Amino acid sequence: MTLPINTESYDYKYNKTLNEDVNLVSNTYGKFDLDMDNGDYVNVTGVDSLENACIIAIMTRYNELKKIPTYTGFGCKVHDLIKGNKHRLLKFKIETSITEVLENMRRIKKINWLKITEDDTRSYKVVFNVTSINDEIVQSEMVL
Q: Mean pLDDT for each 10-residue chunk of the chain (144 residues)?
A: 68 69 76 79 83 89 87 86 80 92 92 88 86 88 84
Give SS3 for 98. Answer: helix
Q: Name 84's Cβ contacts closer than 8 Å, sequence gap at least 6.
A: 90
Identify residue 17 by its one-letter amino acid code.
T
What pLDDT, on a 0 to 100 scale, did the predictor assign at position 96?
A: 93
pLDDT computed for residue 72 by the predictor? 83
Predicted pLDDT of residue 16: 64
Contacts 24+ apart (CB under 8 A), 116-121: 116/91, 118/86, 118/91
**pLDDT of 40:** 80
CATH of domain 10-143: 3.10.450.40
pTM summary value: 0.81
Q: Do 104 and 56 form a contact (C-beta atoms < 8 A)? A: no
Q: What DSSP state is assigned to residue 27?
A: -
Ordered by start, the domain boundaries in the chain are 10-143
Contact 124, 98 (CB under 8 A): no
